[in-house]
Amino acid sequence: MNEKCLPTRQETPKKACWDLSPLFSSQQDWDILYKDLENRIQGFEQYRGRLHTAYECFKACLDFHHGMARDLERVYTYAHLKNDEDKTNSLAEDIYQRAVNLYTRIGDAASFIIPQIQAVPQKTMTKYLGEASIAQYRFYLEKIIRNTPHTRNAEVEQILAMAGEALSAPRQIFGQMDNADLDFGTLIDPDGKTQPLSHGNFTLLLSHHDRDFRQRVFTQYYEVYENHRHTIAATLCASVKKDLFYARAKHFPHAKQAALFKDNVPTCVYDTLISSVKENLAPLHSYLDFRKKALGLDSLHVFDTYVPLVSDVEFNMPYEEAITTCIKALAPLGEEYCNILEKGLTQGWVDRYENRGKRSGAYSSGCYDSPPYILLNYEEKSINSLFTLIHEAGHSMHSYYSKKHQPYASHDYTIFVAEVASTLNENLLGQYLLKKHGDDPRMKAYILNREIENIRATFFRQTLFADFETRIHELAAQNKGLTLEILTGEYRKCLEDYFGDHMEIDEALCLECLRIPHFYSSFYVYQYATGISAALAISQRIQILGPKALEDYLSFLKLGGSLFPIDELKAAGVDMSTPKPILATITYFKKQVQTLDTLWNTHLNP
């Protein structure tokens, strides 16, 4: 019996790893900048209490502060990327903790700046904003002034900044437990081979055609969370209370308003998403019923939702071929876009494969002075990995364009718009694959089902998550306890609301709320649902209007964080302040389900 084992970091080929040398050529260089930043912290004091005295002092303070922030991001980015390579590497964990600590200390030293900017007399500030040399900071300053009602005095802001490291503990504890300590063991697959079970291959194993094996994968995976349920529930509870603490400290009526305020996203956008989806669940229920019938099941469980309906179509795409496929799919975005991306994906942007201790999932990261790095756990037998690659490539190209066309002070776009770029790429990939295999009903059904599943996971599932976040934060705001029973009970209510009697709710599935890392970044996940809605709208606009819509979209990528996200999307031709894009997404999903149903009954129904 051959046991398939994950390689160590040292055993991973260099070409499969990201190249961090653009950040630092060595650990020694990192240490030099780290120590330099420590020595420069005292430089903030020269500006304390003086921002209203003269424009030159005001501008010098902004330059110093942003220079520190820019260098700090280099230090932090390198540390968190090294830490995510291998969570069991004590040296990487050490430099990551040092970077987090430095973030806290610099934040503490700079905490007086925002209150003093807000204290500058209006007449003086108007004069400052009229200076030509302040142009790169204008939107940054406008956001600070807007935040005045939610900024405390300098002493309180300093205390809040000092508390940042301690209050980040719930997220850090969960991350360490989930990525480094939890052991999901191995299973014997239907072919008699031993398979390791991990975050990276969980959904792949759930796509196996053998239902008993799928159920064993599901059960064994959630047994690990069952064994740690009380600890994780306490950690999630602490995270919610942290959100509530910050909201109250900043004079917000609720943690949701606090989370959405910085992007100037009205809470009605969040609430409209949830209400619009819950009022239009019929297409989702139709799809679940179709899936149950297509699989020949008496009842549908969540572990039945990952298996391809066309089970004898095998997918196998090595990473290099995946790059070629992505570039062809993204041809509508222009030659320049594709050339830049292809070079990045082959020359150091991407950490490709899973290794022992590596952070699960995928992301795009980086800073103003680095390439837009991509962490993957690429699995060539999973079409999900192909879509994940092109998804993260969307984030990375958004970062590339924003850094190229915006100054440091306004380059950092929000998550709200980031998910548009990534999801648009996924949509283009889906369209490309459907056209490529248009004459093959089985492959077409396979790809179409994958697109439908992507919308189900990105739109409907993330809205369910957003609903759950609202519920538990409201309970905390009412001073109700967030015990394990309450957390899992509220999650069961969400599952029942969204799936009704169209899917069996296994008791273990109620533990799903304990394994979602994004719950430690409050009111974050709704942006996946709004992002896919905006992306589908832009995709349709490009198809209808052609070059003009494409020009608008590329211009949107170049905006970075120079406008609030709702305004940026309006510039791209989409108004997310209305329910129209949400309802259009539900209509698109319904159409795709109907297409799959017709294709199935015409060509594939036994």
Please tell me the CATH code under which domain 20-167 is placed. Answer: 1.20.140.70
- How many Å apart are CA 396 and CA 94, to the nearest integer? 27
SS3 369: coil
With H, G, I as helix, E, B as strand and everything else as coil, classify residue 351. Answer: strand
Q: Is the pLDDT of residue 2 over 80?
A: no
pLDDT of residue 563: 96
Closest alpha carbon to 536 in 564, 499, 566, 572: 572
- And the tokens for 4? 């398939």
Quote the tokens at residue 3: 């046991």
> Sorting pLDDT into bands at 50, 70 and 90, what band is 4?
low
Task: Output 328 or 311, whichever has higher pLDDT.
Answer: 328
**pLDDT at 565 > cutoff 90:** yes
pLDDT digits (tens, 9 = 90+) for 524-537: 999 999 999 999 99
Report the sign of the C-alpha dihedral through residues 416, 422, 426, 429, in that order: positive
Phi, psi (deg, nearest 5) at residue 317: -140, 105
Phi/psi of residue 48, nearest 5 degrees: -60, 130
For 351, phi then psi, to 5°, come to: -100, 105
Rounded Cα gap, residues 324 and 465, in angstroms: 34
The continuous run of DSSP H or E covering 364 comes out as strand 363-365
Give, in order, the Cα–Cα distances in Å from 170 to each of 234, 453, 538. Answer: 9, 31, 37
Q: How far is 46 from 64, CA to CA, in rounded Å? A: 10
Nearest to 472 by CA among 446, 449, 493: 493
- What average pLDDT score do residues 449-457 get? 90
DSSP H or E stretch at residue 567: helix 565-571
Side by side, the strands of the sheet bearing 350-351 are 350-351, 373-375, 363-365
Confidence (pLDDT) at 157: 83
List CB contacts of 591: < 8 A, sequence separation 6 or more: none
209: number of Cβ within 10 Å = 12
Give the global pTM.
Answer: 0.81
pLDDT of residue 394 exceeding 70, the answer is: yes
- Say if residue 1's pLDDT is above 50: no
Q: Which tokens in the block code for residue 2?
A: 């051959």
Q: What value does the mean pLDDT take over residues 456-466?
A: 96
Q: State the residue for tokens 């390439």.
A: 371
End-to-end CA distance of the chain: 37
Q: How many angstroms separate the CA atoms of 302 and 211, rounded?
A: 11
d(C-alpha 500, C-alpha 306), whole Å: 19
CB 351 within 8 A of CB 17: yes
Both tokens assigned to 140: 């940054």
Q: In this structure, are residues 291 and 596 in contact, taking their beta carbons and an 8 Å threshold?
A: no
In angstroms, rounded to a whole number, what is the distance separating the alpha carbons of residues 296 and 293?
5
Sequence spans of domains, the chain: 20-167
Residue holding tokens 């792949």? 204
User: 466, 486, 477: which is closest to 419 by C-alpha?
Assistant: 466
- Does position 42 have pLDDT exceeding 60, yes or no? yes
Q: In sequence order, which residues have a C-beta less than 8 Å from that of residue 278 and are 6 or more positions away?
A: 467, 497, 498
Comparing CA positions, the residue from 17, 41, 175, 45 lying closest to residue 113 is 45
The pLDDT tens digits for 120-155 are 999 999 999 999 999 999 999 999 999 888 888 878
Question: φ, ψ for residue 187 (rounded to 5)?
Answer: -135, 155
Which pLDDT value is given to residue 606?
A: 58
Write the DSSP string, 160-229: HHHHHHHHTHHHHHHHHIIIII----EEE-TTS-EEE--TTTHHHHHT-S-HHHHHHHHHHHHHHHHHTH
Q: Which residue has the higher pLDDT, 415 or 185?
A: 185
Q: What are phi and psi of 350, to 5 degrees?
A: -115, 135
Q: SS in 3 state form for 138-169?
A: HHHHHHHHHCHHHCCCHHHHHHHHHHHHHHCH
| 220-229, 246-255, 447-456, range with the lowest pLDDT | 447-456
Residue 358, pLDDT score: 92
Annotated catalytic residue within 392, 453, 490, 568: 392
Question: Average pLDDT in the 26-53 region?
Answer: 96
How far apart CA 469 and CA 459 sit, in angstroms, is 15
Residue 485 falls in the annotated catalytic set: no
Q: Which residues of 323-336 are buried (b: 16+ CB within 10 A; e: fewer)?
A: bebbbebbebbeee
Dihedral sign (CA 374, 379, 381, 383):
negative
Mean pLDDT, residues 539-545: 87
Please say if the pLDDT value at position 483 is more than 90.
yes
If pLDDT is split at 50, 70 and 90, which confidence band does 344 have? very high
H/E run at residue 88: none
Mean of pLDDT values over 212-229: 96
User: Can you tell me the distance from the alpha carbon of 436 to that of 458, in angstroms, rounded to the nearest whole number?
Assistant: 24
Q: Kindly tell me if the per-residue pLDDT of 3 is higher than 60.
A: no
| Residue owning tokens 């756990």 | 377
> Looking at this protein, which amino acid is placed at residue 63?
D
More confident residue, 604 or 497: 497
pLDDT at 546: 84
Residue type, 395: H
pLDDT tens column, 52-101: 999 999 999 999 999 999 999 999 999 999 999 998 999 999 999 999 99
